[in-house]
């Protein structure tokens, strides 16, 4: 009798989402099976968020809520303590530590996997996905020339490099003095400490850049520019989960108008303040309901929210660790850091060397100009799949295999996380998990949500009727 060949499960991308799916599959599969975790680089578990080596780059979620498995809430903090570090559940710890934790989770799941369940780490970029000759199994084409035929594929492609800011004249953001991707390795290392720097954006990405510059002893001026000049709010020291019952389970049920939703949220914040709570408790309490509230809105209302309220929501919802906020405030008070409110109009490279930046203050009719040694795009990861140049996304998009969100927030999946084609049919054997779920859930970019989605995707993969296998309960 010939042995049953192993079923192959391919996960494309090994940031948090891909690692979390891999861990779930390794924990639950009975052999014979092979989990192929494919990542562009060998830094598994890092991705854009946890690839930083700066101790100043802290998580923006308390350690007690960062466990890879929502069913074992103390997972991450236990790991941190096992390394002899004295952090508490409400603390904000370095992001690099989180990458170490993810790696450890994968190694543990691998060594505890059932006999016949193998993990294969593949350093490669997946360039395209086709169907096999029967049209049933996806076949992955890697940049190494290898192909992998899989029973099931999970796309965990993560965050895409920022979209270059729109300017009147064409600007090459791939070359100094313009920097498009502040997370690419070593991009700020050679910078003259006295250089004047303009950061386009005032969100958490800009905070990352400011911290990086201050850490390397930058003495020159740092200016941040954004349309509204809204800065991310701080978390409280020792951030705790919101008090139970502050936001009722049926909050805003059936409230389909954006205006009415906002009115109700403001009322909740007022009432909670009167009862001695903080607005953060309401924003935190709403988190579990946000997908439902988002789905209750019409497409038009969603567009209005993104345009008018999105920046306010983001600065209150995606907050900075208190230590980071204090350093930003200190730099502002010292005058080294400043904020401009307005719109970037144009950038031209000068002989000086540097760049002349034209911008229009909010509400003004005239432009202003400023000269900077370096201009850094800090507008954050792009989710506009119409424009990202990623080869795999381009192939799937051009083949009609993706339904791109009209608000450029991500892509559409069905309730089994199967990627929806442009014609609305599900793409056979191909699922998605990651920040692009924002299109459907709005709240889907951070670990507390992504870990739940990752667990559900793994369950769908294992349950899938096309795959006959044993699964551990």
Q: What angle do CA 288, 293, 294 make, to 5 degrees?
A: 105
Question: If binding is defined by CB under 6 A, does position 440 make contact with ligand FAD?
Answer: no
Q: What's the min distance (Å) between Cβ of 153 and ligand FAD?
A: 11
Our finding on whether 25 is near ligand FAD (CB under 6 A) is no
Give the angle subtended at the CA of 435 by the CAs of 462 and 458, to the nearest 5°: 10
Told to check if 268 binds ligand FAD by CB under 6 A, we report no
CB of 438 to ligand FAD, least distance (A): 10
Instruction: Give CA–CA dist 406/303, Å, rounded.
Output: 9
39 binds ligand FAD (CB under 6 A): yes
Q: How far is the CB of 383 from ligand FAD (least distance, A)?
A: 10
- Binding flag, residue 125, ligand FAD (CB under 6 A): yes
How many residues sit in the footprint of ligand FAD (CB under 6 A)? Answer: 32
Site string for ligand FAD, 382-401 (x = CB under 6 A): ----------x---------
Binding residue for ligand FAD, selected from 94, 381, 410, 429, defined by CB under 6 A: 381
Q: How far is the CB of 61 from ligand FAD (least distance, A)?
A: 4
Helix or strand holding residue 273 (H, E): helix 258-274
Strand order across the 33-39 sheet: 117-123, 33-39, 7-12, 152-155, 426-432, 418-420
Q: Does 11 bind ligand FAD (CB under 6 A)?
A: no
The window from 113-121, 156-164, 221-229, 284-292 that contacts ligand FAD (CB under 6 A) reads 156-164
**Greatest distance between any 2 Cα atoms in the chain:** 81
Pick from 92, 318, 290: which is nearest to 202 by CA? 318
> Is 47 among the residues that bind ligand FAD (CB under 6 A)?
yes
Give dist(CA 367, CA 168) in Å, integer.
13
Residue with tokens 């991450």: 76
Q: Please say which residue, 12 or 225, places its beta carbon nearer to ligand FAD.
A: 12
266: helix, strand or coil: helix
Query: CA 152, CA 463: separation in Å to the nearest integer?
Result: 11
40 binds ligand FAD (CB under 6 A): yes
| Binding segment toward ligand FAD, per CB under 6 A, in 2-10, 166-174, 294-302, 440-448 | 440-448
CA separation, residue 144 to residues 14, 22, 133, 154, 435 (Å) = 17, 22, 22, 20, 27
Contacts (CB under 6 A) with ligand FAD, residues 165-224? 208
Q: Does 13 bind ligand FAD (CB under 6 A)?
A: yes
For residue 237, give every residue at least 6 positions away whose Cβ sits within 8 Å of its Cβ, in sequence order, or none. 90, 322
21 is a contact residue toward ligand FAD (CB under 6 A):
no
Query: Of the candidates 7, 9, 17, 24, which one interacts with ligand FAD according to CB under 6 A?
Result: 17
Residue 384 sits at φ, ψ, to 5 deg, of -85, 95
* Interacting residues toward ligand FAD by CB under 6 A: 12-18, 38-40, 47-49, 59-61, 95, 125-126, 156-159, 208, 381, 392, 434-435, 445-447, 450
């Amino acid at each position: 009798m010939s042995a049953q060949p192993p079923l192959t499960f391919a996960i494309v991308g090994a940031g948090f989402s891909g690692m979390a799916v891999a861990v779930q599959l390794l924990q639950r599969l009975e052999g014979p099976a092979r989990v192929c975790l494919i990542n562009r680089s060998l830094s598994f578990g890092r991705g854009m968020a946890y690839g930083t080596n700066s101790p100043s780059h802290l998580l923006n979620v308390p350690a007690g809520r960062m466990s890879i498995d929502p069913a074992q809430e103390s997972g991450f903090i236990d790991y941190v303590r096992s390394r002899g570090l004295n952090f508490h559940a409400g603390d904000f710890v370095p992001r690099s530590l989180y990458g170490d934790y993810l790696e450890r989770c994968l190694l543990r799941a691998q060594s505890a996997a059932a006999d016949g369940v193998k993990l294969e780490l593949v350093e490669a970029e997946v360039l395209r996905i086709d169907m096999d000759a029967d049209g049933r199994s996806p076949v992955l084409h890697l940049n190494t020339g290898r192909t992998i035929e899989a029973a099931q594929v999970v796309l965990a492609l993560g965050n895409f490099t920022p979209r270059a800011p729109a300017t009147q004249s064409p600007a090459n953001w791939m070359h100094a003095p313009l920097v498009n991707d502040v997370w690419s390795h070593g991009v700020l290392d050679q910078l003259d400490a006295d250089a004047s720097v303009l950061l386009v954006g005032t969100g958490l990405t800009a905070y990352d850049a400011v911290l990086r510059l201050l850490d390397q002893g930058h003495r020159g001026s740092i200016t941040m520019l954004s349309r509204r000049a809204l800065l991310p709010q701080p978390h409280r020291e020792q951030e705790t989960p919101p008090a139970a019952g502050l936001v009722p389970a049926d909050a805003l049920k059936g409230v389909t108008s954006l205006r009415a939703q906002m009115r109700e949220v403001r009322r909740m914040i007022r009432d909670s303040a009167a009862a001695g709570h903080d607005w953060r408790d309401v924003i935190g309490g709403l988190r579990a309901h946000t997908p439902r509230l988002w789905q209750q809105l019409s497409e038009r209302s969603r567009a209005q929210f993104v345009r008018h309220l999105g920046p306010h929501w983001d600065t209150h919802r995606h907050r900075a660790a208190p230590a980071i906020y204090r350093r930003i405030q200190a730099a502002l008070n010292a005058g080294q850091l400043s904020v401009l409110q307005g719109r970037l109009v144009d950038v031209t490279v000068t002989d000086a060397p540097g760049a002349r930046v034209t911008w229009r203050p909010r509400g003004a009719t005239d432009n202003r100009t400023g000269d900077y040694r370096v201009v850094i795009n800090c507008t954050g990861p792009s989710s506009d799949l119409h424009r990202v140049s990623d080869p795999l996304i381009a192939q799937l998009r051009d083949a009609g295999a993706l339904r791109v969100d009209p608000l450029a927030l991500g892509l559409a999946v069905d309730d089994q996380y199967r990627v929806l084609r442009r014609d609305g049919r599900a793409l056979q054997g191909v699922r998605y998990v990651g920040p692009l779920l924002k299109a459907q859930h709005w709240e889907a970019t951070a670990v507390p949500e992504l870990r739940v989605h990752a667990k559900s995707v793994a369950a769908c993969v294992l349950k899938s009727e096309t795959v006959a296998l044993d699964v551990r309960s």
